[in-house]
Structure 1
């Protein structure tokens, strides 16, 4: 029988894979099901660097939050936040400023349920159950409006999420809707998988994820760059994840497959 631990909400289909739980598996987390591990193993078969890419992407998230904190931002909206594993946004931000505020957004029931458990004693961090592809529902959420002050700069985190948004949903327009709502001086962090450097391996990843709840849509450098429209790119611009403001990047074998960047709203 499929496993059902205490952190699994009622009525969850533990035989349907989800991106949040597959990502958790790739990061070495324990909040995933057998079906997620099966898909994750198929991803690793076609893309052996899968765990490195996931870990590097997570490290970019941490550096982006640290950079935003250094720029005076102390409130964050994390879209498609996933399973809350070690080094999550509130941990990084509140290590510097215990009063930093974070709203996580996800529509995976396990991610939302576990986030609620993790954050139940944290007055400055919370989660809402919402689909980031419906920005009006997110931005008009009473919880978002109560926790975040839209008269001051906000850090918007869109890390490893827009490659789950199909072209027909117009990801650039979705991101623009969030951008337009942000106050001047806000920062937007984005990471996005690409097949530019490893087309065969990444095509295999797309195929492995095809029948999951969250199929993937990789994009080129030009397409990822277009997502930063209306923002001023922070140095070093759009680069591979390990190279973004990483003092140790010269010592790393910089794998390709993820474009990242941070933009500032004028």
Structure 2
């Protein structure tokens, strides 16, 4: 590691090794791990970490040789995979700007937030409304250490250790509810997370656990790897090769799912136009300046809205 990066990681190692009372109340049930959940890597330098590989794909410095080797294996299959990470970040920025601005959402829960990078959720949201509350959550202690050190810039921004798969969901967690009011609309961000949840854990059911508990008027923003199936057999073949690279050669997870499977994530929600589409097609910031890499087409994003109840009808007699 280069000089400043080594300092960041050693500081995070020390922070992550300290007892964390909040994380004790936010631990994932052991049964879920037995069902196929891959435990977070944390400060283990012998195993590739999802968060650190993603950091490296964005040209970050908080990663180790094992993480760079994992991404190299993925790039052997898809040389443009770094652009997928950048595309994902740009999509997140546009969505958060819309939710905190036009949609009027003033509290966000960003699940699987990962390592801090350039222009994070709270920075985008608080440009629209400085009073927006943002809670980041990740199950990796290294991410939590970095997040607390670098992202908690004001009283409205918090980084907690927790897990998407918690019993009762994070919405019922005492740490989260300390800062977010579950009785009011929330912007739930699940960006680049569900493709790391094994089929045996039923990711659609996991999301339903959240949407059932969200207040009316809330929004759910999701991106996930796409397997086109009959929509494009050539791209589908690339998706299957990439899935193998992620799961067998990379980070141990990274499943590509069909459009139909991903639409299940939005059950009970109204999809905001243009629906579940390629990330570059979701309210793009401007015209394309180059042809898309094939791998850039293998990730979909959508924003669902939990509608407010219809107003009562007035009957005239």
TM-score (norm 1): 0.93
Shift of 1:180: 1.0
120 and 189 in structure 1: CA distance in 2 versus 1, 3 angstrom threshold: closer
252 and 239 in structure 1: CA distance in 2 versus 1, 3 angstrom threshold: farther
2:129 aligns with 97
Moved more, 113-122 or 64-73: 113-122
Task: Return the alpha-carbon distance in structure 2 between the equivalents of residues 193 and 127 of structure 1.
Answer: 26
Answering whether residue 53 of structure 2 is matched by residue 22 of structure 1, we say: yes
Give the count of matched residue pairs.
Answer: 265
119 and 53 in structure 1: CA distance in 2 versus 1, 3 angstrom threshold: closer
Aligned match for 2:69, one of 38, 51, 69: 38
1:203 aligns with 240
Answering whether residue 305 of structure 2 is matched by residue 264 of structure 1, we say: yes
In structure 1, stretches of 5+ residues that fail to align are: none
Task: Kindly name which structure, 1 or 2, has the bigger radius of gyration based on alpha carbons.
Answer: 2
1:1-266 to 2 correspondence within 5 Å? Answer: 5-8=10-13, 9-10=16-17, 12-69=43-100, 70-134=102-166, 136=168, 138-196=170-228, 197=232, 198-211=235-248, 214-251=252-289, 253-254=291-292, 255-266=296-307
Moved more, 23-32 or 200-209: 200-209
Moved more, 198-207 or 172-181: 198-207
Task: Return the alpha-carbon distance in structure 1 between the equivalents of residues 134 and 170 of structure 2.
Answer: 14
| Counterpart contact for 1:157–1:189, Cα < 8 Å | yes
Moved more, 136-145 or 237-246: 136-145
Give the SS at the match of 1:210: helix
2:23 aligns with none
Task: Return the alpha-carbon distance in structure 2 between the equivalents of residues 130 and 217 of structure 1.
Answer: 22
Shift of 1:53: 0.8
| Counterpart contact for 2:116–2:151, Cα < 8 Å | no
| Counterpart contact for 1:135–1:177, Cα < 8 Å | no
Shift of 1:190: 0.6
Task: Return the alpha-carbon distance in structure 1 between the equivalents of residues 305 and 206 of structure 2.
Answer: 17
Task: Return the alpha-carbon distance in structure 2 between the equivalents of residues 137 and 178 of structure 1.
Answer: 6
Q: Deviations over 1:166-213 (max 9, x none)?
A: 111011111001101111111111111113252343333322332565
| Counterpart contact for 1:233–1:262, Cα < 8 Å | yes
148 and 194 in structure 1: CA distance in 2 versus 1, 3 angstrom threshold: same
Moved more, 121-130 or 180-189: 121-130
Task: Return the alpha-carbon distance in structure 1 between the equivalents of residues 159 and 193 of structure 2.
Answer: 16
TM-score (norm 2): 0.79
Shift of 1:92: 0.4
| Counterpart contact for 2:196–2:255, Cα < 8 Å | yes
What is the root-mean-square deviation of aligned Cα atoms in Å? 1.9
| Counterpart contact for 1:133–1:165, Cα < 8 Å | no
Give the SS at the match of 1:189: strand
| Counterpart contact for 1:242–1:249, Cα < 8 Å | no
| Counterpart contact for 2:70–2:251, Cα < 8 Å | no
